[in-house]
Amino acid sequence: MSAVAERTTIQVRPLTPVIGAEISGVDLRQPLDAATVAILKAAIHQWRVLFFRDQPITDAQQLAFGRAFGPLTPAHPIAEGLDDHPEIWQRKAAEYKSRRPDVTVPSAPPPRDNKGWHIDITFVANPNRYTILRGIDIPAYGGDTLFANLVRAYDGLSEPIKRLIDPLKTVHRTSGYDRAGSGKARRDGRATGPFVSLHPLVRIHPETGEKVLFVNPGTTSHIVGLKEPESRGILEMLINEITRPEYQVRFHWSPHALVLWDNQAVAHAGPIDYAHFDLPRVVRRITVAGELPQGPDGFRSQALEGELFNVLG
């Protein structure tokens, strides 16, 4: 089959009106040509998160897929990746329990925890652009992931609130959860934090120009220049906004599934029910390098403590 004929088989099937689409008709074991990458980029900017099923790829093929969208970062600013692939961060469901020892069954999340909702790695000044997560060992049930559209969350705010938050800046810092298990030195000699960064509360999407509500539950500590009760009240209101069900899509994992999402415009939570099941669940994640977020007033994020998220290539 010719490359042109193969490209015509790509199908984008939206899952909700506001976020999420399943992609079929592409084999991720094969290198992606420029036209295919362009189709996928257009889809991710429209639907924010793309789901690929039945993709039995190797670690090397996952890395090649990621590099089609830009340079890759190390696995994580604090934790290290696999010995043979430092770009890959492997996560097991059991680790969520060990890193959140306060979680038991039944449980109630601590204040502002919001059941694990977050944007990836915003405690650095240059969070990753895209995240690519691949299922390795997937249970028959449980372990679902939720995704929320942060552009729609901003759009849903009233105009007076938009005017209030557009110029505001926030501090993002590593939490106790981020630092858990980070006591040992890295093999590559890089510092393991702490990391603290100054970000706009609203960022401009660098590819689409849209305004994005850029608040990260558990990592955004406060709004600069406001009194503590004011900061807490506004952040709680905005966190409630980004976790509204109408901005979400829920993904039920299956063997050999892979998810690509726009970390510049998406918050996610998962596995959302890790405290309630003991089945094995293993995923491997890579991240595509991003840039310093920019606010509506032109302000660009700044590192207050710790290094930038570097690039491996």
Query: What residue type is assigned to position 36 of the chain?
Result: T
Any domain includes 273? yes
Per DSSP, 186 falls in state P
Whole-number pLDDT of residue 298: 98
Which own/partner pairs from 207-210 qualify as long-range (CB within 8 Å, at least 24 positions apart)? 207/41, 207/45, 207/264, 208/45, 210/151, 210/265
CA distance 18 to 35: 25
Any domain includes 313? no
Within 13 Å and on the Cβ side, how many CA atoms surround 96?
Answer: 23
Per DSSP, 294 falls in state B
CA distance 283 to 266: 19
Any domain includes 46? yes
Whole-number pLDDT of residue 259: 98
Any domain includes 311? no
Provide the token pair at 274: 């890790």
Provide the token pair at 179: 């630092």
- Among the listed residues 18, 62, 43, the one whose alpha carbon sits nearest the alpha carbon of residue 288: 62
Any domain includes 312? no
Whole-number pLDDT of residue 1: 36
Any domain includes 222? yes
- Among the listed residues 268, 261, 157, the one whose alpha carbon sits nearest the alpha carbon of residue 202: 157
CATH (domain of 46): 3.60.130.10
Range of the domain at 24: 3-305
CA distance 308 to 303: 7
**What is the tally of structural domains in the chain?**
1
CA distance 263 to 122: 10
Any domain includes 310? no
Which own/partner pairs from 222-228 qualify as long-range (CB within 8 Å, at least 24 positions apart)? 222/170, 222/171, 223/168, 223/169, 223/170, 224/168, 224/169, 224/170, 224/171, 224/198, 225/168, 225/169, 226/168
Any domain includes 56? yes
The 3-class SS string of 223-288 reads ECCCCHHHHHHHHHHHHHHHCCHHHEEEECCCCCCEEEEECCCEEEECCCCHHHCCCCCEEEEEEE
Tell me if 263 sits within 8 A of 126, measured CB to CB.
no
Whole-number pLDDT of residue 108: 34
Whole-number pLDDT of residue 250: 97
Whole-number pLDDT of residue 116: 86
> Going residue by residue through the chain (313 aa), what tens digit of pLDDT does each one get?
334 434 458 999 999 999 999 999 999 999 999 999 999 999 999 999 999 999 999 999 999 999 999 999 999 999 889 999 999 999 887 665 555 544 443 333 334 455 689 999 999 999 999 999 999 999 889 899 999 999 999 999 999 999 999 999 999 998 755 554 455 667 777 777 799 999 999 999 999 999 999 999 989 999 999 999 999 999 999 999 999 999 999 999 999 999 999 999 999 998 878 777 777 889 999 999 999 999 999 999 999 999 999 887 5
- Among the listed residues 226, 261, 242, the one whose alpha carbon sits nearest the alpha carbon of residue 127: 261
